[in-house]
Amino acid sequence: MEIYKRLLGYLKPYRARLALAVFCTLCYTLAHSLVSVTVFIVLNGLQNKDYVVFGQMPKLGFLERIHLPSFELPTLQFSTSLVPFIVMAVFLLRGFFEYVSRYQMSVVGLRAVRKIRDDLYAHIVRLSMNFYSKGRTGELMSRTMYDVNVIQAGVTDVFVDLVKQPFVILFQIPLVFYWGGPLAFIALVIFPVVLVPVVFLGKQLRKTERKAQEQIANIHSEMQETFSGMNVVKAFNMEQYEVRRFQVIHKNVFDFLKRTMRLTIIQRPLIEVIGAVAVAFSIWYGMRILPLDRFASFLTTLFLFYEPLKKLSKANASLQQAVAAGTRIFALMDEQPKIKNQPNAAPLTPKIQNVQYQDVSFAYENGKFVLQNIRFDVRSGEIVAIVGTSGAGKTSLVNLLLRFYDVTQGRILINHRDIRDYDITSLRESIGLVTQETFLFNASVFENIAYGRLNAPLEEVKQAAQAAFADEFIQLLPKGYGTVIGERGVTLSGGQRQRLSIARALLKNPPILILDEATSQLDTESERQVQKALELLMVGRTVFVIAHRLSTIQNADRILVLDEGRLVQSGTNEALLKEGGVYKRLHDLQFNV
């Protein structure tokens, strides 16, 4: 019920269009029910040659005796020359109103769905990092594309049929009586019986559909993974393996879709068979009692009367699917971002005095601490290097500063104030990040560097690129700064990509800079150059450098040594070497002492 309400909420802005659509639907159904009238006047005209006459119901023998309500309508007579015009008019009106009503309904459906998808995407993008760390890309894509499409089918088809068909049924009822007289009762008695399987199958359908859509999310994940890791797939000759994996998942989807299909398809024949019993019974009597014109119109009406039931059952199936999709979509929309602004969050001014980690502990998952009791102070303008073995928690440590995650225990202060009390936008505004895995967007070089400051003048972008030693190779690209970088930056080398992402951080010109292995993919020569650029860049900023290569961080003001989530040593290069311990061991390993 809740889901229906929320879905209907998306239709609210289009009340006027919907009203027009409903009005036209009404006109359509009126014209539609006149079809049996045209059948009558054509046959009646054929019999009488010169005129058409709507006469009284003939006497129906035994049925008269059970005192069914009888009604008398005035006889009506007109020339047969009018028949073609009447037929034309009926179909013209029907066609026109069908067009307008369907078109309006479809537009409303499309618009509502566009809004849902836009809202969903906007919501997903605002969710916190913890939401994404579970590798749910495929699932999210499936939600925004497939599920929203299912809703669209639901909204458009369902709305068209759910509004239209009841009217069609309603308008047929007097006509069934008009043409068939008391015979109509036989046809109507069967009517409710037809609804039983519709309701039952609808429930089954919703269950199967839910499972099918889970599997479809898996397909998306599989594809996303294979396509983005294509180099690994090929290098390890795993094409065949991936194809087979895809086929297995796809088979699951197929099985569920097959069941969904069967449930959807069975409804129609089932209704037809039950309906046919009623119709057959009526025909049996009707053939003997009713004149040809009346009998033909009666059959037509019966057909028009049962036809909507089939459509309704199909609409019911779509509705069940849409509700299942809506349930998942709204569940996603109800997901709250974990990292939020406090009610009275203050903006962080670009003037940084100090950064303090006070007994910070952190766990991605409950109980599994990856950082424990980290405590250190950094003054403005200081360059702090963070070293430690892989998995020691270096990236996690700096991610906390950006509030990708919030600390589990302890607190982080900037200018003596907890970072959770700052406005998140202003906090991130103050921090430049060069990530460990460089990520470039499928956009021009210019846009990739100016990401975050898209209105930056070309001159500034160039300066940033020069400082990152990227300008040179950018000039050699086919369209220079306008060159669009292929998917995941395939047209650039690892080092070139890294320099672009350094330029990106330079252009932002933030007071705090985080370099996570910023020079790891550069050769010794470019590393030396980039190192120089970074040294220039670091001047006047508070910098956190993470590096495996200890040669790159020897001039740091201070080195923090992490080991299994604990801060085990801190000091200058010389002091730490004298001290021995983890740092000395790392150092000796690298320099082969």
Ligand X SMILES: Nc1ncnc2c1ncn2[C@@H]1O[C@H](COP(=O)(O)OP(=O)(O)OP(=O)(O)O)[C@@H](O)[C@H]1O
Task: Give the chain's radius of gyration (CA, Å).
Answer: 37
Q: Which stretch binds ligand X (CB under 6 A): 162-170, 234-242, 364-372, 465-473?
A: 364-372
Tell me the closest approach of the beta carbon of residue 513 to ligand X, in angstroms: 17
d(C-alpha 97, C-alpha 548), whole Å: 72
Tell me the closest approach of the beta carbon of residue 542 to ligand X, in angstroms: 20
Verify binding: residue 392, ligand X, rule CB under 6 A.
yes
SS3 384: strand
Closer to ligand X by CB, 143 or 394: give it: 394
Closer to ligand X by CB, 133 or 493: give it: 133
Which residue's structure tokens are 């024949």? Answer: 269
Residues 6+ apart with CB under 8 A from 97: 24, 25, 27, 28, 31
Tell me the closest approach of the beta carbon of residue 257 to Mg ion, in angstroms: 42
# residues contacting Mg ion (CB under 5 A): 2
Note whether 143 and 328 are within 8 A (CB).
Answer: yes
Tell me the closest approach of the beta carbon of residue 319 to ligand X, in angstroms: 39
Tell me the closest approach of the beta carbon of residue 394 to Mg ion, in angstroms: 5
List the one residue from 47, 133, 342, 349 that touches ligand X (CB under 6 A). Answer: 133
Own/partner pairs, 361-369, CB within 8 angstroms, 24+ separation: 361/407, 361/408, 361/409, 361/410, 362/393, 362/396, 362/400, 362/405, 362/407, 362/408, 362/409, 363/408, 364/130, 364/133, 364/396, 364/405, 369/408, 369/565
Closest CA to 12 of 100, 103, 112, 161: 112
Note whether 181 and 317 are within 8 A (CB).
Answer: no
Tell me the closest approach of the beta carbon of residue 548 to ligand X, in angstroms: 7
The vertex-565 CA angle with 561 and 571, nearest 5°, equals 20
d(C-alpha 58, C-alpha 61), whole Å: 9
Closest residue by beta carbon to Mg ion = 395
Closer to ligand X by CB, 133 or 475: give it: 133
Q: Which does 396 bind (CB under 5 to 8 A by kind): ligand X, Mg ion, none?
A: ligand X
Closer to ligand X by CB, 319 or 545: give it: 545
Closer to ligand X by CB, 182 or 393: give it: 393
Q: Which stretch binds ligand X (CB under 6 A): 71-79, 96-104, 210-218, 390-398?
A: 390-398
Verify binding: residue 391, ligand X, rule CB under 6 A.
yes
Q: Which does 390 bind (CB under 5 to 8 A by kind): ligand X, Mg ion, none?
A: ligand X
Closer to ligand X by CB, 360 or 474: give it: 360
Closer to ligand X by CB, 194 or 387: give it: 387
- Restricted to residues 419-448, the positions that interact with Mg ion (CB under 5 A) are 436
List the structure tokens of 107: 């537009």
Closer to ligand X by CB, 404 or 451: give it: 404
Q: Which stretch binds ligand X (CB under 6 A): 165-173, 232-240, 388-396, 414-422?
A: 388-396
Closer to ligand X by CB, 99 or 439: give it: 439
d(C-alpha 140, C-alpha 134), whole Å: 11
| Integer CA distances (angstroms), 51 to 43, 112, 341, in order | 11, 52, 81
Tell me the closest approach of the beta carbon of residue 147 to Mg ion, in angstroms: 35
Residue type at 113 in one-letter notation? V
Tell me the closest approach of the beta carbon of residue 526 to ligand X, in angstroms: 21
d(C-alpha 220, C-alpha 214), whole Å: 10
- Restricted to residues 370-409, the positions that interact with Mg ion (CB under 5 A) are 395
Verify binding: residue 366, ligand X, rule CB under 6 A.
no
Verify binding: residue 350, ligand X, rule CB under 6 A.
no
Residue type at 340 in one-letter notation? K
Note whether 587 and 550 are within 8 A (CB).
Answer: yes
Tell me the closest approach of the beta carbon of residue 417 to ligand X, in angstroms: 25
Tell me the closest approach of the beta carbon of residue 436 to Mg ion, in angstroms: 5
Tell me the closest approach of the beta carbon of residue 142 to ligand X, in angstroms: 22
527 backbone dihedrals φ, ψ, rounded to 5° = -60, -40
- Restricted to residues 402-441, the positions that interact with ligand X (CB under 6 A) are 436
Verify binding: residue 531, ligand X, rule CB under 6 A.
no
List the structure tokens of 585: 């061991």
How are strands ordered across the β-sheet holding 431-434? 417-418, 409-414, 354-365, 368-379, 566-571, 558-563, 383-388, 542-546, 512-516, 431-434
Closest CA to 590 of 563, 566, 554: 554
Element (H, E) at 163: helix 159-180
DSSP label of 483: P
Verify binding: residue 444, ligand X, rule CB under 6 A.
no
List the one residue from 32, 206, 220, 394 that touches ligand X (CB under 6 A). Answer: 394
Closer to ligand X by CB, 142 or 395: give it: 395
Exposed e or buried b per residue across 290-329, where buried means at least 16 C-beta atoms within 10 angstroms of its C-beta: beebbbbbbbbbbebbbbbbbbbbbbbbbbbbbbbbbbbb
List the one residue from 180, 393, 432, 489 that touches ligand X (CB under 6 A). Answer: 393
d(C-alpha 481, C-alpha 471), whole Å: 9
Closer to Mg ion by CB, 325 or 543: give it: 543
List the one residue from 297, 320, 396, 526 that touches ligand X (CB under 6 A). Answer: 396
Tell me the closest approach of the beta carbon of residue 388 to ligand X, in angstroms: 6
Tell me the closest approach of the beta carbon of residue 148 to Mg ion, in angstroms: 36
Verify binding: residue 370, ligand X, rule CB under 6 A.
yes
Closer to ligand X by CB, 231 or 390: give it: 390
What residue ranges bind Mg ion (CB under 5 A)? 395, 436
What residue ranges bind ligand X (CB under 6 A)? 133, 364-365, 370, 388, 390-396, 436
